[in-house]
Structure 1
Amino acid sequence: MRVIALEEHMFPRDVIESAGLDFGRRASARIPQLDDLDEGRLQAMDDAGVDVQVLSALAWTVQDLAPAESADVSRTLNERLATAVARHPDRFRAFATLPMSDPLAARDELVRCVEELGFLGAMIHGQTHGVFLDDPSVRPILATAEHLGVPIYLHPAPPPPAVRATYYSGLDADVAECLSTSGWGWHSECAMHVLRMVVAGVFEELPGLELIVGHMGEGLPFHLERIEDMLTPVVKRHSLTVAETLRRNLWLTTSGYDHDAPLQCALSAFGVERILFSVDHPFASSSRATARLRSAPLTEHDRALIAHGNAEALLGIRSPQRRTA
């Protein structure tokens, strides 16, 4: 069974150092794996049975930079991604990094990455300086993605200082960092970000825009019926309900979620055709993720859709050969 993984991060060590970026204690511990785009990464993929990684820079820190610097670092990262794909064209694809503090530059970089470098879309990390993707200033980026026929992968990011101070102060530093990010905070914030886009009418204006979120839907499958009951009645003049919009425009990946209950919830809420496989390398184990994929209570047809079929349909990933290893 072919396996395509969509949320697989990278970041060259020398770019981190030259740009003076701070990844925090937990992410900094993964820099050796983020920096590796050759033997070590390929070995981890082979050991787990992952055929293709769609690479993306772990770039929330880049979005926080001043516009000119963000544009320079984004371009550097995209060139590194393109080089890695060129070295291993059967194993890697890429999502672009965009300088979100300059929306017009981000739009132009998305066009360059898709049309010149062959990228499959872009990954955006949460809000940028308080600006969410429903803001009118960001609409040129989203409209361009729709026009190009490529998705936006919306990845969580650490909370802005005001949110951190309000919700996570007074705790042990390690606990606060985890609670505000992977332990809870960024899942709820990413889900809220998606709902902002829905209620603000982004998908009414851009009905062909495809949005991907990870972590089995960032809690949206569990809350979907409650959201529909409470939120839809107050959203006026939309052609679809909130749940109908989400089921039309949103895709979910399994990144970091290797348990049956969240998978069954996502299947029930969104259907197997909207679920894609991801690992969240190097923050999760590729071997554990693929082992869980192979043992999950799914029909073989549904397993194949999640493993590769849905990604092939959404991203146009094709391979003339199939690995036997």
Structure 2
Amino acid sequence: MPLFDIETHWIMPDLTSALRAVRHPDESLIFNETGDNQHRLEDLGDGRTAAMDAQGIDVSILALTPPGTQPLPPKEALPLSRAANDMAAAAVARYPDRFRSLATLPMSSPKDTAGELERAAGTGHVGAMVYGRSGDLFLDDLAYDDFFSVASQLGQPVFIHPQLPSAAIRDASYRGFDPMTDLALATYGWGWHMDAATAALRLILRGTFDRHPELQIVLGHWGEMLLFWLDRADSLSRTAGLQRSVTDCIRSNFHFTASGMLNPALLRHALSVTSVDRLIFSTDYPFQRPSGGDIDSFLAHFTSDAERQQFTSANAASLYGIDL
């Protein structure tokens, strides 16, 4: 039974340098761009495939680590997005049986996003990874509607990854402790999951899926809390005058990954509010590195081989066009 991992991160040194010049210095602490993680993030070769072998993973989908190029001004975001996409495509070409890749897009320049998605798709990228906000521009802004239209037409799924909340939100909700606790609360401990869920919910409320009913969105971390709040979120559909409920969009336009959170209780809840064909395995490598034994133990919680295969490979293969 093949095992596909649809969210494995990497970094590009030129982009890292550009980001350090514009973003708050504590952001670099989130992704541990030193020590083992930096080495693992930079490795698009034999070291990465060896780690995959140890976990029993057959195919990994590469995705540039957050925040991509989104904090950069357009004049930098576009060329660095192109460079990142070319670098990832070259890695896939070297390891065609082991890697696929998600495109990095210049979201700070909405007029360039659709064109770069088309170019990246033409070089073999199987989707894109984006974030919920570029500066003050939300992902649901109609400035991005051409991008979503092209993604839908090309069958390119869009993965919405968490990002550091804005400075205003951090000041309002995530300060008052020591700096590292502030940062953890704003990121992996709570804040960035809420941020990603809000970005997804805003897309629904903006009528994105009424305009683009074939568009497919991917959320990590078992839906970034959104799957646990559908009873309340559905009330927003009526207020916003949508053609479809939030739950209907979730069940037809969204896919959800584990992101290394191999907790059977989370699996059971996800299956209770959506269906197994919407769930996909991922590790969030190298930030999460479950062992092969951890993975096997978790997969034993599926009730049938057919459902297990959907989660481990078939759903990803169908969504991203990967030959089994």
User: TM-score, length-normalised on structure 1?
Assistant: 0.93
Aligned to 1:302: 307
Kept in 2: contact 1:5–1:52 (CA 8 A): yes
| C-alpha RMSD over aligned residues | 1.6
Structure 1 gaps of 5+ residues are 320-325
Q: Does 1:32 align with 2:32?
A: no
Aligned to 1:323: none
Kept in 2: contact 1:50–1:290 (CA 8 A): no
Q: Does 1:60 align with 2:67?
A: yes
Find 1:177's aligned residue among 178, 183, 188: 183
Aligned pairs for 1:160-239 within 5 A: 160-228=166-234, 230-236=235-241, 238-239=242-243
Structure 1 residue 87 displacement after superposition: 0.6
Aligned to 1:5: 5
Q: Secondary structure at the match of 1:95?
A: strand
Structure 1 residue 66 displacement after superposition: 0.7
Structure 1 residue 210 displacement after superposition: 0.5
Aligned pairs for 1:1-325 within 5 A: 1-17=1-17, 20=20, 23-27=27-31, 28-29=33-34, 30-60=37-67, 62-115=69-122, 117-228=123-234, 230-236=235-241, 238-287=242-291, 290-319=295-324
Structure 1 residue 94 displacement after superposition: 0.5
Structure 1 residue 130 displacement after superposition: 2.1
Q: Structure 2: how far apart are the matches of 1:56 and 1:176?
A: 27
Kept in 1: contact 2:68–2:104 (CA 8 A): no
Structure 1 residue 302 displacement after superposition: 0.7
Structure 1 residue 162 displacement after superposition: 0.9
Kept in 2: contact 1:59–1:97 (CA 8 A): no
Q: More deviation in 20-29 or 181-190?
A: 20-29
- The count of corresponding residues between Structure 1 and Structure 2 is 316
Deviations along 1:150-200, one digit per CA (max 9) or x if unpaired, are: 110000101111111111111111111111111111111111111111111
Q: Secondary structure at the match of 1:118?
A: coil
Aligned to 1:322: none
**Which residue identity is paired with 1:97?**
T
Structure 1 residue 25 displacement after superposition: 1.4
Deviations along 1:228-280, one digit per CA (max 9) or x if unpaired, are: 2x3233131x3211211221111101113110111111111111010011000
Q: More deviation in 188-197 or 275-284?
A: 188-197
Q: Structure 2: how far apart are the matches of 1:67 and 1:257?
A: 35
Q: 1:19 to 1:225 in 2, by over 3 A?
A: closer
Q: Structure 1: how far apart are the matches of 2:74 and 2:248?
A: 36
Q: Secondary structure at the match of 1:60?
A: coil
Structure 1 residue 72 displacement after superposition: 1.3
Kept in 2: contact 1:45–1:286 (CA 8 A): no
Kept in 2: contact 1:13–1:32 (CA 8 A): no
Q: Secondary structure at the match of 1:282?
A: coil
Q: Structure 2: how far apart are the matches of 1:218 and 1:8?
A: 17
Structure 1 residue 222 displacement after superposition: 1.3
**Which residue identity is paired with 2:10?**
M
Q: Structure 1: how far apart are the matches of 2:265 and 2:56?
A: 24
Q: Structure 2: how far apart are the matches of 1:165 and 1:86?
A: 44
User: TM-score, length-normalised on structure 2?
Assistant: 0.93
Structure 1 residue 20 displacement after superposition: 4.1
**Which residue identity is paired with 2:128?**
A
